[in-house]
Structure 1
Amino acid sequence: MAHEHKSNHEEEERYITLINENGDEELFEILLTFDSDEFERSYVLFYPVGESEDGDEEGIVHAYAYIPTEDGGLGELLPVETDEEWEMIEEVFNTFVEEEESE
């Protein structure tokens, strides 16, 4: 998956479009964004539109670090580089899912 994306400001930053390796656009819905003081990075989790948001076999949740733009947008997406970051992201995601299920 390429790291190029476009944001649709009219839709309140709920969706992003990524360009895949074939040059095709794919629409994703943002599940959550958060900042990590420990890693001094911002992160975004999203999944393909039309698929499950709970990360089961029906849909895959993608995670990237990002550099926020001045207006609070996502800016450039960056790969998650360390196992420690992945563990922290997984913990945040699991907490998010538990909170969603309890509502």
Structure 2
Amino acid sequence: MAEQENVKPGADDQQITLIDDKGNEELYQVLFTFDSEDYGKSYVLLYPESASDDEELEIQAFSFTPDANGDASQGDLYPIEDDDEWSMVEEVLNTFLADEDED
């Protein structure tokens, strides 16, 4: 189970630009970041900045190395390739979304 000590909703409007294999850039908004003691990593969940409020969001997840301020927008993003790690990230996301629905 992941420790959710540092779950930080994207209230500070952090944005990250992702570049695909063809060199196309797309701006993403940080949904939230969290740390996992089990995996010894920090994670960031993103959604496209261009998404409208009435459409289903395509959420991207990456591990990252935070900067001195714990920021995800200044460092490198790494793909999550382990199935167990993906399951943990999905569990944290589902908990976050359930908590948001309660508010």
TM bucket normalised to smaller: 0.7 to 0.9
Q: What residue in structure 2 maps to residue 64 of structure 1? A: 62
- Within a 5 Å distance, the mapping from 1:2-21 to structure 2 comes to 12=12, 14-21=14-21
Verify: 1:100 aligned to 2:100, yes or no: yes
Where does the alignment leave 5 or more consecutive residues of structure 2 unmatched? 1-11
Would the aligned equivalents of 1:28 and 1:49 in 2 still touch at CA under 8 Å?
Answer: yes
Where does the alignment leave 5 or more consecutive residues of structure 1 unmatched? 1-11
- Give the structure, 1 or 2, with the largest relative contact order (CA under 8 Å, sep 6 or more): 2
Secondary structure at the aligned position of 1:26 is classed as strand
Return 84-93 or 71-80, whichever deviates more.
Answer: 71-80
- Within a 5 Å distance, the mapping from 1:35-74 to structure 2 comes to 35-51=35-51, 58-74=56-72
Alpha-carbon RMSD: 2.0
Report the number of matched residues: 90
Q: CA deviation at 1:52?
A: 5.7
TM-score by length of 2: 0.77
TM-score by length of 1: 0.77
Q: What residue in structure 2 maps to residue 32 of structure 1? A: 32
